[in-house]
Structure 1
């Protein structure tokens, strides 16, 4: 029998198909400040710290770092509506969980500024009890620091919570926190083709995941 009192989510590639706008913003910054082209695959390899941390590592001239960070967020906000579509299925699933009294949180490597932009534009901010971003932790995923922080504040034990994500770092973080892990591949853009380690459950559609949750909540 499975007891589920809380569901924690990664954000990019899990709750929203934001990877295209992330790629565009990083590519624009690297083109403007470094005069080089970067591929989506190269950008994914930079993930870990929030966007500002990535640019602090990558931009060679110290004087260019803060302007590059501001340019990233400008490009991210300006192109968000065009490149990121709200998912009716995701919103229905979140509403379903909220109506059944589950606690919900987000643990994302995004910076606070980009997370707030996306949550606001996608009208998701009302669903979550807690949002922990890459700016709020010392050790990003796959370290479980962010997950531990959310669980402690929600006062839910790891054994009674699920962690949902689309990357290897998500699954490793969830397992390190002692949670059951859900790997998802329901958006066209994902961070991994093959999970390693394997999640406890894998879903390729939001509908299948919601059916799984419905069964878990009624068993």
Structure 2
């Protein structure tokens, strides 16, 4: 049996796709004056905000300000974010079995705090690795290895969902 279950946030714990895509769509419109369909922006799901903005042609010197701007828009789209059905029950059952729970996310720490914490799931998790905790990001394995290092766990003891 595994001793550690590590979760992603977006698309795993939270159904946040529409919220992320609509806020990114508005960011591109406001900052570049370009309308893009949300379907065109789906590449941005699951990667750090800075990486998504780079792929959209934002210059390095624009990234920090644009990420912050995007972040100011996301609260107006929170109404589209939901915990997937059965997540609370699953997390409760895993904790009752003594399994250590973690998060590895492409969100940076401020995004995690602003967008995830309001759902009240944080007490379930022992360790949270955000994009700004490692140099390389998902899909690279460094964030999961950082979780394993912090938990003093072996890879065969963990599963990443």
Bin for the TM-score computed over the shorter chain: 0.7 to 0.9
For 1:141 and 1:66, how far apart are their aligned partners in 2? 19
Output the aligned Cα RMSD: 2.1
- Say yes or no: does 1:90 pair with 2:55: no
- Aligned residue pairs total 161
1:3-48 deviation line (CA, Å, top 9, x unaligned): 2101011111001001111001100100001111223343232456
Deviation per CA, 1:30-67, whole angstroms, max 9, x where unpaired?
00011112233432324565213433553546775444
Task: Please identify which structure carries the higher helix content.
Answer: 2
5+ residue gaps, structure 1, are: 165-219
Q: Deviations over 1:60-92 (max 9, x none)?
A: 467754442222111112321x11123451011
Specify every segment of 5 or more residues in structure 2 that has no aligned partner in the other structure, as ranges. none
Q: State the alpha-carbon separation in 2 of the partners of residues 63 and 141 from structure 1.
A: 23
Higher radius of gyration, 1 or 2: 1
Q: Cα deviation per residue 1:120-157 (whole Å; 9 max; x = unaligned)?
A: 11111111111111222211122110001101211221
Match of 1:71 in 2: 69
- TM-score, reference length from structure 1: 0.66
Q: What residue in structure 2 maps to residue 183 of structure 1?
A: none
Number of the residue aligned with 2:22 = 24
Q: Which stretches of structure 1, 4 residues or more, deviate above 6 A after TM superposition?
A: none
**Aligned counterpart for 2:48 among listed residues 42, 50, 54:** 50
CA contact (8 A) 1:112 1:134 kept: yes
Q: Distance in 2 between matches of 1:18 and 1:151?
A: 26
Larger RCO: Structure 1 or Structure 2 (Cα < 8 Å, ≥ 6 residues apart)? 2
Structure 1 position 102, deviation (Å): 0.6
State the TM-score, normalized to the length of structure 2. Answer: 0.87
